[in-house]
Amino acid sequence: MNGGMILDGKKIAAEIRMELRAEVEAIKASGQRVPKLGIVLVGNNPASETYVNNKMKACAEVGIEAVKIAYSPDIAEQTLLTQINRLNSDETIDGFIVQLPLPEHITETTILSAIDRRKDVDGLTPENVGRTVQGLPSIISATPRGIRELLARYQIPTAGKHVVVIGRSNIVGKPMAILLMQRPYLSLPSMSAASLGDATVTICHSKTQDLASICRTADIIIVAAGCPNLLTAEMVKPGATIIDVGINRVEDPNSPRGYKLVGDVDFEHVAPIAGAITPVPGGVGPMTIVSLLQNTIQAYNEHSR
Ligand code: NAD
């Protein structure tokens, strides 16, 4: 393939895991307990189970203790809230996440709002999001944090650039846009991303008109829509950086599973004209998981040590 440099999230995430492992080893060597993450899983959605297993595996690799706390799909909202409060006051747990999506009878915002912000290592509580918006120290949601780290490690600056974010979800699009437009002093001290931010950000979504012409003015495009082939070559300015967040299952009779995972970008045609591009899989996904580990160690360092 000519053109775009591949932004290898798998490789960068492995490097970060090595760094985190050294950090956890040092904690152990000093005689303190290691950081501990709780993962709440409600029901038996197979995709969620895969994500949870990947997170547990990543924790084991760096020496973070991880516990899966599984509940049946018909758990009452009130019971789940009681369990969340238990985790909030459990001093042996430094951070926990509630794997999304939740069953329909449970209101996601009610559950997320109940998490103590200091333990909210997915960075999804209204308090953490509000603090991020205001530039106060906060835990940043894992996918935007991972994308910021990926851009930083590949030394792709955002200052003064026009970044188009496609998607306005609470977990990716909105926090991503906030981070990109922030003044860089808001970055976490532990991040090499100190120079990131200061971008001019356009947020697009399903009601945006003429997405193509907006995208053609972008230096960086971050696509988080969940639509295969949404971003095509005609929508991309030559040399632009493309970050593909999408994870979509599409039928593939050649795969033993009967499907393959693709992103939101027409990779085959966009990669040759892009300046840099993330693959799916192996781009944003591994960075998201490693950001959860970073957030867990951050929570440990800030509140448990
Ligand atoms: P979501 O599914 O909650 O919402 C999708 C967003 O995309 C909406 O804001 C919608 O307005 C916008 N959108 C949908 N179709 C569009 C179109 N045709 N044109 C413009 N905008 C459109 O979003 P989400 O939870 O952020 O997930 C988005 C995708 O990213 C999904 O495929 C999800 O699986 C994936 N994801 C990946 C990771 C990762 O680690 N790689 C993390 C989170 C989400």
Q: What is the DSSP string of 124-148?
A: -SHHHHHHHHHT-S-PPPHHHHHHH
Pairwise CA distance, residues 176 & 254, whole Å: 35
Measured distance CA(281)–CA(279) in Å, rounded: 6
CA of 92 relative to ligand 1 center, distance in Å: 34
- Hey, whose CA ends up nearest to atom 35 of ligand 1? 246
The answer to whether 304 touches 283, Cβ cutoff 8 Å, is no
**Dihedral (CA of 189, 195, 200, 205) sign:** negative
By the 8 A CB rule, do 11 and 95 touch?
A: no
Distance 103 CA to ligand 1 centre (A): 19
Domain with CATH 3.40.50.10860 in the chain: 31-116
Q: Are 285 and 7 in contact (CB under 8 A)?
A: no
Tell me which CATH code domain 31-116 carries.
3.40.50.10860
CA distance 305 to 300: 6
Q: How confident is the model at residue 183 (pLDDT cuts 50, 70, 90)?
A: confident
In angstroms, the CA 6 to CA 271 distance is: 8
Given the candidates 1.10.490.10, 3.40.50.720, 1.20.1250.20, 1.10.340.30, the CATH classification of the domain at 141-285 is 3.40.50.720
Instruction: Report pLDDT for 81.
Output: 98
Local confidence band at 194 (pLDDT 50, 70, 90 cut-offs):
very low
Whether residue 230 has its Cβ less than 6 Å from ligand 1: yes
Q: What is the mean pLDDT of residues 86-93?
A: 97
Quick check: CB of 81 below 6 Å from ligand 1?
A: no
Atom of ligand 1 nearest to the CA of 284: 41
Q: Is 57 one of the annotated active-site residues of the chain?
A: no
Residue 162's contacts (CB-CB under 8 Å, 6 or more residues apart) are 199, 200, 202, 217, 218, 219, 220
- The band of 196, judged by pLDDT with boundaries at 50, 70 and 90, is confident
Helix and strand totals (H; E) in the chain: 10, 11
pLDDT in the model for residue 189: 45
Write the DSSP symbol of residue 265: B
- Kindly state if the Cβ of 287 falls inside 6 Å of ligand 1: no
**pLDDT number for residue 71:** 97
Structure-block tokens of residue 165: 């974010």
Q: Is 205 in the pocket of ligand 1 (CB under 6 A)?
A: yes
Rounded Cα distance, 300 and 51, in Å = 22
Measure 93 CA to ligand 1 centroid, in angstroms: 30
State yes or no: is 55 an active-site residue: yes
pLDDT at 4: 82
Ligand 1 atom closest to Cα of residue 289? 40
- What type of residue is 262? V
Ligand 1 pocket test, pick from 245, 264, 284 with the greatest ligand atom count within 8 Å of Cβ, gives: 245
CA 51, 55, 59 angle in degrees (round to 5)? 170
Residue intervals of the chain classified under CATH 3.40.50.720 are: 141-285
Q: What pLDDT score was predicted for residue 305? A: 65
Q: What is the pLDDT of residue 130?
A: 94
Find out whether the beta carbon of 145 lies less than 6 Å from any atom of ligand 1: no
pLDDT beyond 80 at 256:
yes
**pLDDT recorded at residue 147:** 97
Nearest Cα residue to atom 23 of ligand 1? 169
Q: Is pLDDT at 177 greater than 70 in this prediction?
A: yes
Q: Has 298 been annotated as catalytic?
A: no
Q: Which two tokens stand for residue 111?
A: 């559950």
In this model, does residue 185 exceed pLDDT 60? Answer: no
Dihedral sign for Cα atoms in the order 216, 219, 225, 227: positive
Q: Residue 230: name the closest of 254, 214, 219, 253 by CA.
A: 214
Q: In which element (H, E) is residue 36 found? A: strand 36-42
Q: Which of the residues 8, 94, 120, 122 is marked catalytic?
A: 122
Span 8-23, mean pLDDT? 98
